A and B are shown apart, each in its own frame.
Chain A
Amino acid sequence: MPDKISKDSVGLVTPETIKFEEPLELACGRTLVNYELVIETYGELNDDKSNAILVCHALSGHHHAAGYHSPADWKPGWWDNHIGPGKSIDTNQFFVVCPNNLGGCHGSTGPSSINPETGRVWGVDFPPLRARDWVKSQAKLADKLSIDKWAAVIGGSLGGMQAMRWALEFPDRIKHAIVIASAMKLSAQNIAFNEMARNAIKSDPDFQNGDFIEKNSQPRNGLALARMIGHVTYLSNEQMGSKFGRTLSAGSFQQGQYNPVEFEVESYLRHQGDAFSGSFDANTYLLMTRVLDYFDLAREYNNDAVKAFGVAQCDFLIVSFLSDWRFSSERSEEIVRALIDAKKNVSYAAIQSNLGHDAFLLKNEHYEKILTSYMNRIFNNDKKTQKISSTPEKIS
């Protein structure tokens, strides 16, 4: 943690584990008899519980979205740029809830948990999940927190898919959906990247057909390679050019000498892969990439996105980044088009950025302004409706 916690940080935070003893029926037809979700919350829930925001994480995310777990942490939660007092998602105004999704590997029930029926680690036997299962479990979480209706459900990438699914599955429990750098379904190219990552994991002998925890091994090489493949697709060519170019981190090309070279981009990717493979579960990675691949917003609506969004009652903010080629602006514009045809309230901002898909996690002046103005609108409109609804009480 930095020496001094800045004023716009939520500071030290402690995750909480919520236990669910009732069974959860999954889209695949199987049932989890019980499960746990580990969550973090920031800010205070107001008296009428109208200021709750659900933040849905993306592929490799988790519940730790903002602040620090201990003074020894050298970096804050994954969305700390945008959550905190005075930040876009202002914790002085909102009560922010961020769960680790089911199937995750940061404390919520997932492939590395114990299967209560066998007493062994789930591993690859953990039921395959769909975004709708996450949404369902998040709705159960809302029940536990006595939140009837989210002021907003917000997510980037795979998180955006959950926000859209929320709008369709629980239309009366969400007022706004904020969908950032996302898509209504992945393209074949996008699925192909995920399949390469999965193959990298499965071809590591230490993967042990998914039984690596029971067999006391870790498919670290496979997981690192999977992360490297993914990571490259989250960056833009321009950004990699300016960040690394062809700079060498070791060796030289001087003729007459043998001095093996390594490009900086190679060391960087290796570092990214190593760091990730030490902290992430390989089966969770397989599960999460499949949730991404399987997601198809309009599948159950006759493949008609307008019909699908017709079910929604909330307002939408859609955001994309112009250098993002993994979830390109065109994908976001498809969402916008369907929402307009479905006669929904929607605003859309295509943000200039050279940071690729990762831009949704990072600081960007326009991105922050757009998000802030939309969040303020949510906050101010809610105050207005509160005023209207509180008038009769005054009379009585």
Chain B
Amino acid sequence: MSMRTDLEIIKNWISPNSRILDLACGDGELLKDLKLQKKIEGYGLEIDLNKITEAITNNINVISTNLDSGLSQFSDKSFDTVIMTEALQAMKNPDLVLDEMLRVGKNCIVTFPNFGYWRARLSLAFYGRMPVTKKLDYQWYNTPNIHFCTVSDFEILCAEKNIHIKSKKFAAENLPDRLLKSLLPNLFSDTAIYLLSK
């Protein structure tokens, strides 16, 4: 299986031997790679028992957690980096989850699908339909992704919360988008990747 682009970018932001918490870690793919390449010490949080089973098989420390109940089990600044990839939009209260991540971690990495992407806009503007993409192949009524935002929305939230954006990267799957994404990220990137601190 090929590594997701956002995961490649994240790896470059992780310092060797650091302590990592990965929220909604799935089968632990990212932590497994980081363990191997960066010798990190890490824990993954996951709610789905099937994925927890896979993560255990992948030799990952994985903890049953419902992220919507917060991260109260973790002490302040107890991790170097807290990561959440492509799951912010599935949280009941993404803003509170972000607060918790920044409390527990010295740095945070967040990635999310950008709903300002031109294809999403096109779908709504011209077809009058909620966007359904290859990556997020759900209908409006059955999607776990209940809080979509755009790159601009996210940055407004960061500004309101005084969250410092240390770095940001944008990913796009198609070639023309990849060339244009740095120019107009909110229009041409399908995935946004942020390194944050407070």
Contact = CB atoms under 8 A, between A and B. Distances in A.
A381 B60 CA distance: 13
A257 B43 CA distance: 65
Contacts of B49: 349, 351-352, 366, 369-370
Given A337-B74, A340-B43, 19 more contacts: A340-B73, A340-B74, A340-B78, A341-B78, A343-B19, A345-B61, A346-B43, A347-B52, A347-B56, A347-B63, A350-B64, A352-B49, A366-B49, A369-B50, A370-B49, A370-B56, A373-B56, A376-B57, A377-B59
A346 B59 contact: no
A61 B53 CA distance: 28
Contact of A348 (B19, B57, B64, B74): B64
- What 7 A-B pairs have minimum CB-CB distances, sorted nearest first? A350-B64, A373-B56, A366-B49, A348-B63, A337-B73, A369-B53, A373-B57
A374 interface: yes
Contacts, number: 55
Interface in A324-338: 333, 336-337
Q: How large is the interface on B (under 10, 10 to 19, 20 to 34, 35 or more residues)?
A: 20 to 34
A346 B75 CA distance: 16
Given A351-B49, A370-B49, A346 B56 contact: no
A83 B73 CA distance: 33
Majority-rule SS of A interface residues: helix
B30 interface: no
B61 A349 contact: no
Contacts of A333: 73
Nearest to B41: A343
Interface residues of A, number: 23
B62 interface: yes
B21 to A, nearest CB: 9
Given A351-B49, A369-B49, A341 B75 contact: yes
A369 B55 CA distance: 12
Highest count of chain A CB atoms <10 Å: which of B41, B43, B74, B78? B43
Contact of A349 (B52, B54, B57): B52
19 contacts: A333-B73, A337-B74, A340-B43, A340-B73, A340-B78, A341-B75, A347-B52, A348-B62, A348-B63, A349-B49, A349-B52, A366-B53, A369-B49, A369-B50, A373-B53, A373-B56, A374-B56, A377-B56, A381-B59
Contacts of B53: 366, 369-370, 373
Contacts of B50: 366, 369
Interface of B: 19, 41, 43, 49-50, 52-57, 59-64, 73-75, 78
Nearest to B55: A347
Nearest to B78: A341
Highest count of chain B CB atoms <10 Å: which of A336, A347, A352, A366? A347
Nearest to B63: A348
A370 B52 contact: yes
A268 B60 CA distance: 43
Contacts of B74: 337, 340
A118 to B, nearest CB: 51
A347 B28 CA distance: 12
A306 to B, nearest CB: 10
A63 to B, nearest CB: 29
Contact of B61 (A337, A347, A350, A366): A347
A340 B50 CA distance: 22
A344 to B, nearest CB: 9
B37 to A, nearest CB: 19
A362 B78 CA distance: 37
Contacts of A346: 43, 61, 63
B11 to A, nearest CB: 21
A351 B48 CA distance: 10
A336 B56 contact: no
Highest count of chain B CB atoms <10 Å: which of A351, A366, A369, A381? A369
Contacts of A343: 19, 41
Contacts of A366: 49-50, 53
Nearest to B56: A373
A392 B74 CA distance: 43
